[in-house]
Amino acid sequence: MSVLAEWLGMLAAVCTTGAFVPQVLHVWRRKSAQDISFGMYFILVVGIVLWLIYGILIVAWPVILANGATLILALAILVMKVRYDRVPKR
Amino acid sequence: MSVLAEWLGMLAAVCTTGAFVPQVLHVWRRKSAQDISFGMYFILVVGIVLWLIYGILIVAWPVILANGATLILALAILVMKVRYDRVPKR
């Protein structure tokens, strides 16, 4: 049961982090992020930074690595949101 | 240190779950989700379901509650994405 749980947890982490990759590509290709919520990605980035500090404090590498990767992807979406909203393509 | 880490972890969970609330409201108000990636929310929902099963297996209530709430929000965005893309307002 414990090994199954561990594998499920790792697969879950890969999914919830990897999920942001298609969103980065979607916004990048369309050069549009008007339907993306600035508030969501702002709060998300704050939350991920808190997860990172938490992971460092309790020395949990899976937490550090998963959130490190998600932080880069969430920041990319946030930066594109600000940039593309300023000069809208539509 | 342990109490600080615990509080940081809880605050982090509140942020990364709560972050989806402004995105739900954003899409709901605009009735548009073209910049939202279907792939992101599909993979995210799969990942959150895996986190839920993981939380149930290791009997971790914070994991169960945080992911239960995020699942509802992510599903709401996914359903609106499918619905609003079918009948675009623009």
CATH no., domain A3-86 = 1.20.1280.290
At B87 the pLDDT is 78
Neighbours of A55 (CB within 10 A): 22
Structure confidence at residue B2 (pLDDT)? 85
Residue B35 — φ and ψ, nearest 5°? -85, -5
CA closest to A73 among chain B residues: B40
Residue B90: its pLDDT value, please? 54
Return the structure tokens found at B38: 């279907």
Q: What length does chain A have?
A: 90
Residue A60 has which token pair?
A: 């949990």
- Is A44 within 8 Å of B16 when comparing Cβ atoms? yes
Instruction: Grade residue A2 by pLDDT with cuts at 50, 70 and 90.
Output: confident
Residues 6+ apart with CB under 8 A from B29: none
Distance in angstroms (rounded) separating the CA atoms of residues B16 and A43: 7
Give me the residues of B, 17-46, that contact A with CB < 8 A. 18-23, 25-27, 30, 32-41, 43-44, 46
The pLDDT of residue A88: 61
* Interatomic CA distance for residues B79 and B43, integer angstroms: 14
Handedness of CA A20, A42, B20, A53 (dihedral sign): positive
Question: Predicted ipTM?
Answer: 0.91
Q: Give the tokens for residue A54.
A: 């938490």
Nearest to A57 among B8, B15, B47 (CB): B8
Overall average pLDDT of the A9-36 stretch:
97
Write down the pLDDT at residue B89: 60
Give Cα A13 distance to the centre of its chain: 11
pLDDT along chain B (90 residues), means of 10: 88 97 98 97 98 94 94 98 82
| Per-residue model confidence (pLDDT) at position A49 | 98
Give the DSSP H/E element, type plus range, for residue B85.
helix B61-86
pLDDT digits (tens, 9 = 90+) for A31-89: 999 999 999 999 999 999 999 999 999 999 989 999 999 999 999 999 999 999 997 66
Q: Write down the pTM of the prediction.
A: 0.92
Buried b (16+ CB within 10 A) or exposed e, B1-24: eeeebeebbebbbebbbbbbbbbb
* Spatial distance between the Cα atoms of A54 and A45, rounded to a whole number of angstroms: 14
Q: Rounded distance, CA B49 to CA B32, Å?
A: 26
* Amino acid code (one letter) for A44: L
pLDDT-based confidence at residue A90 (cuts at 50, 70, 90): low
Query: What is the pLDDT, as a whole number, of residue B55?
Result: 93
Angstroms from A86 CA to nearest CA on chain B? 15
